[in-house]
Structure 1
Amino acid sequence: MSDGIATTSYPVSSRNQVKRRHDRGSYDHATVHRILDSSMLCHVSYVIDGQPYCTPTFFWREGTRLYWHGSSASRMLRNQSRGQRVCLTVAHLDSLVLARCGFNHSADYRAVMAFGTAYLVTDAEEKSRALVAMVDRFFPNRTAGLRPSSTQEIKATSFIAMEIEEASAKVRAKGLADDDEDYALPIYAERIPVRTVLGAPEPCTRLLDGVTRPATLNGYSEGRLLDDALLDAYFQEYPEG
């Protein structure tokens, strides 16, 4: 968790300030964190020797600190372990908007950009917590019932953390918005909602007799929105938010 005086918003600078359609921008913790916590996939951007890279990876939040993991041999982790400046992004697509003019075609979305300095987690206690959190953050209390990771598996896994120094959220939830005069045109227009919905669980075909799906996975039920399942899991693991 982050230290220092508690604040409710991230500072605004030329780096994270929403330039275009600033009315859609938010910097408060509640908005930024909710968008982050309703996702498990992020993209981490960084530069190596002048060459930009962008790596997709799983991540999670603890307070105002973000964590992600990967192979100890990965280029991203080797580079970021030296205190690399990074930008972590998350985006949700909520709808497709088909208007009466090409210029007004759009999409509803929620997105976050978070900036900070990445560091390799070397503290034994912090890494031990991260080894549990990378599973339990998404599937609460699951680690306790699993085979413990081997020494080699732990050695092969590294974690990068980043204190969020600046962040901004940008949200469009306007739906269809044509120019007033265009509503008189005989042109079809619509909004197409987009949702990530969980399918029916597919149990492993090699389960031993008597092994059943635990109740802790009830949040991941068929037909439920992934956003909602991830948010519920987050608040089970971190009730304080």
Structure 2
Amino acid sequence: MKDYSKSKLNRIKRGQIRATYDVEKINSILDAGFIGYVSYIYQDRAITLPMAYGRKEDKIYLHGSQANRMLLALLEAKQMSMTVMHLDALVLARSGLHHSVNYRSATLFGSIKNLENPKEKEAALACFMEHMMTGRWDGIRPMHKKELDRTMVVEMTIETASAKVRDVGVGDEPEDYNLDVWAGLVPLKQVAEYPIPDKGLPQKMEIPKHVLDYYQQNKYNA
């Protein structure tokens, strides 16, 4: 078991009982998602945007246009942070103070660089696509050179990280447990619905196996 080292940057102060620095647990949070929240400074203002990402080992890949102001600002700073969060349940308590949510949240800190080598860029984009849906990269047409040229791909090396996880029930005051107030959890999850083909030829095609596999793995099971 390997942990990220603790510092003032990544140390969790509030709710330390829920903190983890375990690399494997943090990677599992990253791999369960596809959207991260990336912060940057633009014209002396802090801005946070949701961004799709791919992960391979200790690398995070983002992409955008060559003029993407967020990516350009991050490259100028040479550092970035990103947070990924999954909301798992509403925690309904007997008092307003003890209402909460169950969640998994990871925050990453690291250095960033622009990938300019075409082979490295294509490999990073393949990682991004496979993070979205396993098997998708081999099911689409190859990228044109002009598409690759106008796409900026950046690589973040995760240097440190931390996570917080709440996965327990209601924590009410002892004297409140006999109150005539309903309390409990409302579990939440993101599910996939049956694939809808695009207009044109896909309407006459069988749905690819990798798409159906994704649906089966992520559909709602009563």
The question of 1:57 aligning with 2:51 is answered yes
Aligned to 1:103: 97
What's the % identity of the aligned pairs?
Answer: 34
Q: In the alignment, which residue of structure 2 is the partner of 1:162? A: 156
Give the Å deviation of 1:208. 5.2
CA spacing shift, 1:171–1:208, aligned 2, 3 Å: closer
| 2:145 aligned partner | 151
Report the counterpart of residue 65 of structure 2 in structure 1.
71
Distance 2:203 2:58 in 1: 43
TM-aligned CA deviation for residue 83 of structure 1: 4.2
Aligned-pair distance for 1:99?
A: 0.6
Q: Which amino acid aligns with 1:29?
A: V
Q: What stretches of structure 1 move > 4 A for 4+ residues in a row?
A: none
SS at match of 1:39: coil
Give the CA deviation at 1:122: 1.8
RMSD of aligned alpha carbons = 2.0
C-alpha change, 1:194 and 1:123, in structure 2 (3 Å) is same
Query: Aligned runs of 1:13-162 on 2, under 5 Å?
Result: 13-162=7-156
Aligned-residue offset at 1:175: 1.9
> CA 1:208–1:119 in structure 2 vs 1: closer, same or farther (change >3 Å)?
closer
* Separation (CA, whole Å) in 1 of partners of 2:42 and 2:28: 31
Does 2:172 align with 1:178?
yes
1:100: how far off? 0.8
| 2:121/2:153 contact within 8 Å kept | yes
Can you list the C-alpha shifts for 1:181-234, whole angstroms capped at 9, x where unaligned?
1112122222111110111111123125752112122322258259xxxxxxxx
Once structures 1 and 2 are overlaid, which stretch shifts more, 184-193 or 28-37?
A: 184-193
Mark the runs of 5 or more structure 2 residues left unpaired by the alignment: none
| 1:209 to 1:60, Cα distance in 2 relative to 1, 3 A | closer
CA deviation vs aligned residue, 1:150-199 (integer Å, no higher than 9, x gap)? 22211221111111111001000112121111112122222111110111
TM-score (norm 2): 0.91
- Structure-2 separation of matches of 1:32 and 1:209: 40
Which whole-Å deviations, capped at 9, do the CAs of 1:24-67 have from their partners, x for residues lacking one?
Answer: 00001111000000000001112234321112110011111111
What secondary structure is seen at the aligned counterpart in 2 of 1:46? Answer: strand
Q: Distance in 2 between matches of 1:20 and 1:225?
A: 35
Cα deviation 1:56-98 (Å, max 9, x = unaligned): 1100111111111112111011222234322100000000111
Q: TM-score, normalised by structure 1?
A: 0.84
CA distance in 2, matches of 1:74, 1:81: 11
Question: Match of 2:162, SS?
Answer: strand
